[in-house]
C-alpha cells in the first residue's frame, strides 16, 4: 500500500512540480531557493535581495501604478537621484499625453538637459517596503470545506478589516502607503504587501517612437529583436524624502538603493536574475479549461481585436495626426492580440490537455487512496460543471471587455450605466447631476483622441461580432431589431446609431451633461443597447456567473491545498498575481525548430538590415543609422566591437514584468526585460524550458541611445557605470 501511495504522489508531482530555476518566486521564499540560486552563479544572499532591516535589491525596483492604483509595469532605479528606467511601451501613455502636434515628443524623442526641463507624468510608482504573512488572521475560524459563498464573504470581510488595521498602524505615514492583502495558492495563503507610493513622477528621456517601438507589431513576441524599448523618469519627493503630490518645490528622491550599470556585457551561460511585477499566470488550469480557452475564448478575443486593429491601421497609415491619436490604443490592443493568437494555437496542440487530464486522474486516485474524499472528493466534478457552463455563457463578458470597452461611443455610454435610475431618484439626482457637470468640464479630454470615421467603423465591427457570435436571446432587443432592419449590413446599423446618439457628437454630449434627464438618456439608442447588455450581464446572467465562479474558486483552492499537503517541504512557486517576484536563470540561446538556431544576442547591424524608409514599423532616424554605419559606439561597444542591442535569457516572466531589471550575478544592471518569445507565448499556462526565453534590451544600447544619439550625456553621468 505504501508503495502504491508513493507512486501516485510521484505521478502528480511529476506533472505539477517546478524546477528551482523555473517559476516566479515571492520574496518571502528566497531563503528556500538561496542555495540553488547561488549554485547557478548568484553572488548575493537572500538578505541582500530582500531585507526589511537594510536597503536591499527590492528597494531599487519600482511598481508603476496609475493614479487610481492599478499596477501596469515595472521599473528600476539607476541613480541616487531617483532616476529610473522602464520600457518605452510602459511610458508610452505618459509620453503620448505630453505630446502635441507642435511638440510631438512621441515621434521626435525627448531628453531633459536639466532637471528644470523634466515634465510631469500622470502616474505613480510604489516601493515594496515590507511583506507580512497574515494567513492565520485571514483564515481564523474559516473551515477549509465551508460553503464557498459564505467563505468568500468571510474572507473578504477579514481582508478589509486587516488592511484597515495595518494601514492605521502606520500612523502619520498611512497617507503615503498602500497596503494590499493578496491571495496566494488560490486562497491557501495571504500576504500583506506594504507599498510606499510616490506621486510626483517626471519624464526625463525617451527615444523617438521609431527607436522605442522599432519593429512594431511585426516583431512583437519575435526574435531576433532590435527594439530599444526604454523610457526614463525621475521620482520627486517632498519634505524628508517622503511622497508628495506634484509641486515645483519638490526635490529629487534620494534613493535608498539603486542599480550600478554594467558595461561588461555577458556570455552564454552567465547568471541572470529578474525582479518585477508579473501580472497573472494560471499554470494549474484544469484540462477542460485548456480546451475552452483554445477552442472558444481565445479565438473570439483574437478575432474581435483584429477587426478593431484593422480599422485603426487603415486610417493611421495615411494620416499622421490620426496615428498619434491612436498609437497607444493600437499598441495596447495589438500586444495581447498577438499573445491570445499564439495561446489559441499552442493550447490546441496535442499534449497539454492530455497531460493535465492524466494528472487529474492521478489526483482522484490519491484522494481515494488517502481517504480524502470528504474534503477533496468533488474537485474534478466542480471543474467539469463550471467549464460546461462557461462554454454556454462565458463569451458575453469577453465581448464587454474586448468589444464594448474598445468602442469609444459604447464606452462613453457604459460610463452612464444605471444613470437613468439615479436621475429618476430624488435623493440621488442632485449628486448624479453634479458628477455629470464635472464630466462636462472634461469633455475635450473625452474627445481628444476620437476620430469619427474610425469610431463609426469600430462600432460596426463590434456590433457585427456580437450579433454573429452570441445567442440573440441574450442580446439587446434594439440591437437585434436594427440588424434585421438593415439586413445584416452593419455599417448601416452603425450609421443609424451614429446619427441618433449623443455619444458620437461632442456638442450633443456636452449639452446633455450640463442639463441631463432620464428621458433624454433613454432616447439614446447606443445607451439603450449598452444598458440592456449590462443588465443581461449583471442581472439575467449574474446567477450563472456567480455559480461558475464559486465552483472554480472552490476547485482551484482545494486542488492547490492538496498539492501543498503532498509535499510540504517542496518550494512551490505560486501563480503570478501582480506582486513582486524573482526569477533566475541564465543567458541562453535556443532552437525553436529543427535546423534553426537563435543566438543569444543581436547587434545594431539589424537596424540597417530591417530599415524601410517611411515605413510604419521599420523606419529609423537617419542620425542613428549614420552612427551605426560609422560604428561610432564609444564605450558602449562589446569587446567584439559591435553594439549589442537585445539579448535572450531563460528567465520566467509574463505581462507586468515589462520594464523589469535584468541583473547579473553581482547585482548589476545588464538590461531591461520587455518581451517573451512567440514559441513560448503560452507560458502563462505552462513553463517550457527548452524554448521559453525573455527578450531584453541591452543596457549598453540604452546608454548609447541616451548619450551618442540623444546627446544627453548629463543623464548618463549621474549613473554608476561598472567597467
Read off the pLDDT of each residue in 408-419 and give the average, rounded to a whole number: 96
CA pseudo-torsion sign 377, 380, 384, 386: positive
Nearest to 689 by CA among 680, 678, 699: 680
Rounded to an integer, what distance in angstroms lies between the CA atom of residue 680 and that of residue 92? 25
Q: How many residues does the chain have?
A: 723
User: In this structure, which long-range contacts are made by residues 536-539, counting pairs with CB atoms below 8 Å and at least 24 apart in sequence?
Assistant: 536/396, 536/474, 536/475, 536/476, 537/396, 537/397, 537/400
Rounded to an integer, what distance in angstroms lies between the CA atom of residue 585 and that of residue 21? 6
Helix 148-168 and helix 542-566, axial crossing angle in degrees, nearest 10 = 80
Residues annotated as catalytic are 89, 229, 658
Q: Which residue has 443588465 as its cell numbers?
A: 535
Categorize the per-residue pLDDT at 6 as very low, low, confident or very high, splitting at 50, 70 and 90.
very low
pLDDT in tens, 574-600: 999 999 999 999 999 999 888 899 999
Q: Three-state DSSP class for 613? A: coil
Distances from the Cα of 591 to the Cαs of 346, 587, 693, in angstroms?
17, 14, 11
50's CB contacts (< 8 A; 6+ apart) are: 27, 28, 30, 56, 57, 58, 131
Rounded to an integer, what distance in angstroms lies between the CA atom of residue 562 and that of residue 188? 10
Quickly list DSSP for 701-723. HHHHIIIIIT--HHHHHTS-EE-
SS3 content of the chain, % helix, strand, coil (to 5): 50, 15, 35
Categorize the per-residue pLDDT at 2 as very low, low, confident or very high, splitting at 50, 70 and 90.
very low
Nearest to 106 by CA among 225, 203, 201: 203
Cβ-in-10-Å burial (0-12, 13-18, 19+) of 365 comes to middle
CA count, 13 A, side-chain hemisphere, 531? 17
497's CB contacts (< 8 A; 6+ apart) are: 409, 459, 482, 504, 525, 526, 529
Cβ-in-10-Å burial (0-12, 13-18, 19+) of 505 comes to middle
Q: Three-state DSSP class for 139? A: helix
Read off the pLDDT of each residue in 168-179 and give the average, rounded to a whole number: 95
Contact 185, 173 (CB under 8 A): no
Contact 74, 660 (CB under 8 A): yes
Contact 192, 179 (CB under 8 A): yes
CA count, 13 A, side-chain hemisphere, 68? 2
Rounded to an integer, what distance in angstroms lies between the CA atom of residue 611 and that of residue 613? 6
pLDDT in tens, 136-163: 999 999 998 888 889 999 999 999 999 9
Rounded to an integer, what distance in angstroms lies between the CA atom of residue 131 and that of residue 446? 39
Higher pLDDT, 6 or 720: 720
CA 295: distance to chain centroid? 23
pLDDT at 354 over 60: yes
* pLDDT recorded at residue 571: 77
First to last CA, the chain: 61
pLDDT in tens, 235-290: 999 999 999 999 999 999 999 999 999 999 999 999 999 999 999 999 889 999 99
- Cβ atoms within 10 A of the Cβ of 257, count? 17
Contact 327, 96 (CB under 8 A): yes
* pLDDT recorded at residue 112: 98
**Domains, the chain, ordered by start:** 41-278+576-723 (2.40.10.120), 406-540 (no CATH)
pTM of the model: 0.84
Rounded to an integer, what distance in angstroms lies between the CA atom of residue 616 and that of residue 627? 22
Nearest to 253 by CA among 272, 237, 270: 237
Q: Three-state DSSP class for 198? A: strand
pLDDT at 1 over 80: no
* pLDDT recorded at residue 588: 96
Contact 696, 647 (CB under 8 A): yes
* pLDDT recorded at residue 125: 98
Cell numbers for 201: 513622477
pLDDT in tens, 7-66: 333 333 333 444 445 689 999 999 999 999 999 999 999 999 999 999 999 999 999 999
Read off the pLDDT of each residue in 492-517 and give the average, rounded to a whole number: 96
pLDDT at 378 over 80: yes
**Phi and psi torsions of 594, nearest 5°:** -55, 130
**Phi and psi torsions of 533, nearest 5°:** -65, -40
Contact 501, 526 (CB under 8 A): yes
Q: What is the mean pLDDT of the chain?
A: 93
Categorize the per-residue pLDDT at 332 as very low, low, confident or very high, splitting at 50, 70 and 90.
confident
213's CB contacts (< 8 A; 6+ apart) are: 88, 89, 227, 229, 331, 617
* pLDDT recorded at residue 335: 81
Amino acid at each position: 500500500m505504501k508503495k502504491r501511495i508513493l507512486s501516485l504522489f510521484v505521478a502528480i508531482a511529476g506533472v505539477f512540480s517546478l524546477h528551482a530555476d523555473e517559476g516566479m518566486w515571492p520574496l518571502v521564499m528566497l531563503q528556500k531557493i538561496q542555495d540553488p540560486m547561488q549554485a547557478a552563479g548568484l553572488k548575493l544572499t537572500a538578505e541582500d535581495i530582500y531585507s526589511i532591516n537594510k536597503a536591499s535589491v527590492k528597494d531599487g525596483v519600482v511598481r508603476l501604478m496609475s493614479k487610481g492604483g492599478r499596477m501596469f509595469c515595472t521599473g528600476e532605479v539607476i541613480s541616487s537621484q531617483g532616476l529610473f528606467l522602464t520600457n518605452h511601451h510602459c511610458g508610452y501613455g505618459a509620453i503620448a499625453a505630453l505630446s502635441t502636434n507642435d511638440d510631438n515628443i512621441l515621434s521626435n524623442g525627448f531628453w531633459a538637459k536639466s532637471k528644470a526641463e523634466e515634465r510631469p507624468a500622470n502616474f505613480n510608482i510604489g516601493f515594496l517596503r515590507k511583506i507580512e504573512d497574515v494567513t492565520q488572521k485571514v483564515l481564523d475560524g474559516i473551515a477549509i470545506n465551508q460553503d464557498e459563498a459564505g467563505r468568500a464573504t468571510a474572507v473578504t470581510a477579514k481582508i478589509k478589516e486587516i488592511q484597515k488595521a495595518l494601514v492605521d498602524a502606520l500612523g502619520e505615514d498611512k497617507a503615503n502607503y498602500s497596503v494590499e492583502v493578496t491571495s496566494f495558492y488560490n486562497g491557501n495563503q495571504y500576504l500583506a504587501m506594504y507599498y510606499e507610493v510616490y506621486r510626483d513622477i517626471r519624464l526625463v528621456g525617451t527615444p523617438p517612437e521609431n527607436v522605442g517601438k522599432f519593429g512594431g507589431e511585426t516583431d512583437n513576441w519575435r526574435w531576433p529583436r532590435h527594439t530599444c524599448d526604454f523610457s526614463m523618469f525621475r521620482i520627486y519627493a517632498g519634505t524628508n524624502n517622503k511622497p508628495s503630490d506634484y509641486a515645483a518645490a519638490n526635490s529629487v528622491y534620494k534613493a535608498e538603493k539603486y542599480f550600478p550599470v554594467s558595461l561588461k556585457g555577458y556570455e552564454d551561460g552567465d547568471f541572470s536574475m529578474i525582479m518585477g511585477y508579473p501580472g497573472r499566470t494560471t499554470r494549474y488550469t484544469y484540462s477542460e479549461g485548456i480546451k475552452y480557452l483554445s477552442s472558444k475564448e481565445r479565438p473570439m478575443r483574437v478575432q474581435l481585436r483584429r477587426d478593431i486593429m484593422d480599422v485603426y491601421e487603415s486610417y493611421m497609415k495615411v494620416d499622421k495626426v490620426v496615428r498619434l491619436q491612436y498609437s497607444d490604443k493600437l499598441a495596447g490592443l495589438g500586444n495581447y492580440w498577438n499573445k491570445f493568437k499564439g495561446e489559441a494555437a499552442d493550447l490546441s496542440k496535442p499534449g497539454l490537455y492530455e497531460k493535465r487530464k492524466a494528472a487529474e486522474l492521478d489526483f482522484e486516485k490519491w484522494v481515494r487512496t488517502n481517504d480524502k474524499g470528504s474534503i477533496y472528493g468533488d474537485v474534478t466534478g466542480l471543474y467539469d460543471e463550471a467549464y460546461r457552463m462557461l462554454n454556454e455563457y462565458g463569451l458575453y463578458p469577453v465581448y464587454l471587455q474586448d468589444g464594448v470597452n474598445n468602442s469609444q461611443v459604447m464606452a462613453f455610454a457604459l460610463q452612464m450605466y444605471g444613470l437613468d435610475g439615479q436621475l429618476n431618484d430624488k435623493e440621488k439626482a442632485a449628486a448624479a447631476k453634479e458628477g455629470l457637470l464635472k464630466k462636462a468640464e472634461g469633455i475635450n479630454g473625452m474627445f481628444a483622441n476620437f476620430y469619427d470615421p474610425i469610431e463609426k467603423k469600430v462600432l460596426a465591427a463590434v456590433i457585427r461580432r456580437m450579433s454573429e457570435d452570441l445567442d440573440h436571446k441574450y442580446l439587446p432587443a434594439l440591437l437585434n431589431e436594427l440588424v434585421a432592419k438593415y439586413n445584416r449590413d452593419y455599417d448601416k446599423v452603425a450609421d443609424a446609431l451614429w446619427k441618433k446618439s449623443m455619444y458620437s457628437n461632442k456638442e450633443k454630449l456636452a449639452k446633455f451633461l450640463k442639463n441631463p434627464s432620464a428621458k433624454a438618456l433613454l432616447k439614446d439608442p447606443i445607451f439603450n443597447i449598452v444598458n440592456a447588455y449590462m443588465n443581461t450581464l449583471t442581472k439575467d446572467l449574474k446567477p450563472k456567473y456567480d455559480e461558475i465562479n464559486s465552483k472554480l474558486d472552490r476547485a482551484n483552492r482545494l486542488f492547490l491545498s492538496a498539492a501543498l499537503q503532498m509535499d510540504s517541504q517542496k518550494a512551490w512557486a505560486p501563480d503570478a498575481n501582480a506582486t513582486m517576484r524573482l526569477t533566475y536563470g541564465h543567458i541562453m540561446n535556443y532552437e525553436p525548430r529543427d535546423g534553426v538556431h537563435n543566438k543569444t544576442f543581436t547587434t545594431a547591424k539589424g537596424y540597417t538590415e530591417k530599415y524601410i524608409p517611411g515605413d510604419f514599423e521599420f523606419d529609423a532616424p537617419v542620425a542613428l543609422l549614420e552612427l551605426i554605419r560609422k560604428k561610432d559606439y564609444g564605450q558602449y561597444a562589446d569587446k567584439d566591437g559591435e553594439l549589442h542591442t537585445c539579448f535572450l535569457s531563460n528567465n520566467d516572466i509574463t505581462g507586468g514584468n515589462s520594464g523589469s531589471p535584468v541583473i547579473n550575478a553581482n547585482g548589476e544592471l545588464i538590461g531591461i526585460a520587455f518581451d517573451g518569445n512567440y514559441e513560448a507565448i503560452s507560458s502563462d499556462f505552462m513553463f517550457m524550458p527548452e524554448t521559453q526565453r525573455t527578450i531584453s534590451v541591452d543596457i549598453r544600447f540604452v546608454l548609447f541611445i541616451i548619450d551618442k544619439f540623444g546627446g544627453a550625456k548629463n543623464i548618463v553621468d549621474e549613473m554608476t557605470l561598472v567597467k
